[in-house]
Amino acid sequence: METIRILIVDDHEVVRIGLRSLLERIGQFEVVGEAASAQEAIELARSRKPDVVVMDIRMPDGSGIEACRAIRSENEAIKVIMLTSYTDDEAIFASVMAGASGYVLKQIGSHELVEAIRTVAAGGSLLDPSITGKVLERMRGMSREQQQHEKLTDQELRILRLIADGRTNKEIAEALYLSEKTVRNYVSSILSKLNLSNRAEAAAYAVRRHLLDEPDPFL
């Protein structure tokens, strides 16, 4: 079988030693480097060109998720497995969005980890069974949110941005040359379409969707 080159990334030396000892017993694997920080991981991935990076999420100088994104943006051929003790929903989702091919827990058995590395090296992807459902549910939630977002008209999007900016109905009316009653009707329509209860939720939605990062050219 073709040799799989592996970079181990973890800020705990004992964990790196344990992983190296395990993986080097597999004739198919070659550990080409160890990194103890996110920046070191990026630099070693650039110079050693591993096939697979086995990376912890939490680092002293950043996160494995940021390192994963940087590594994958420079070289998409490198696959990344996030190996962590945490099942935090946000970290799982962020890892997948950063380009990780797998997210497995450190409680995984040695045989399962070996198979996980072989799977992603061959171009596959995987998630620990205990967290797959969480990611799928989050993806479904995003899909529903996107569908709701697409229902908004251009004018409603402008008003939503202004709500997120902290403007009152009166201030929005003045900015868009509308009556306050018309603005109130727009706000009600926005809340209804997005299935939200109040202006605070609407503002949080706008921030989450990064609507304020793209100023409306008509305002």
Mean pLDDT of successive 10-residue stretches along the chain, which has 219 residues: 92 93 92 95 96 92 88 93 78 80 85 91 76 58 54 87 89 92 92 85 78 55
Residue 129 burial class via C-beta count within 10 angstroms: exposed 0-12, middle 13-18, buried 19 and up: exposed
This prediction's pTM: 0.61
Q: Measured between alpha carbons, how far is 89 from 108 in angstroms, rounded to an integer?
A: 18
Residues 189/156, Cβ–Cβ less than 8 Å:
yes
Q: In what order do the strands lie in the sheet with 4-9?
A: 29-35, 4-9, 52-55, 79-84, 102-105, 126-127
pLDDT in tens, 106-125: 888 899 999 999 999 998 87
pLDDT at 134: 61
pLDDT at 22: 93
pLDDT at 200: 85
pLDDT at 143: 47
CA dihedral sign, ordered 41, 101, 122, 27 = positive
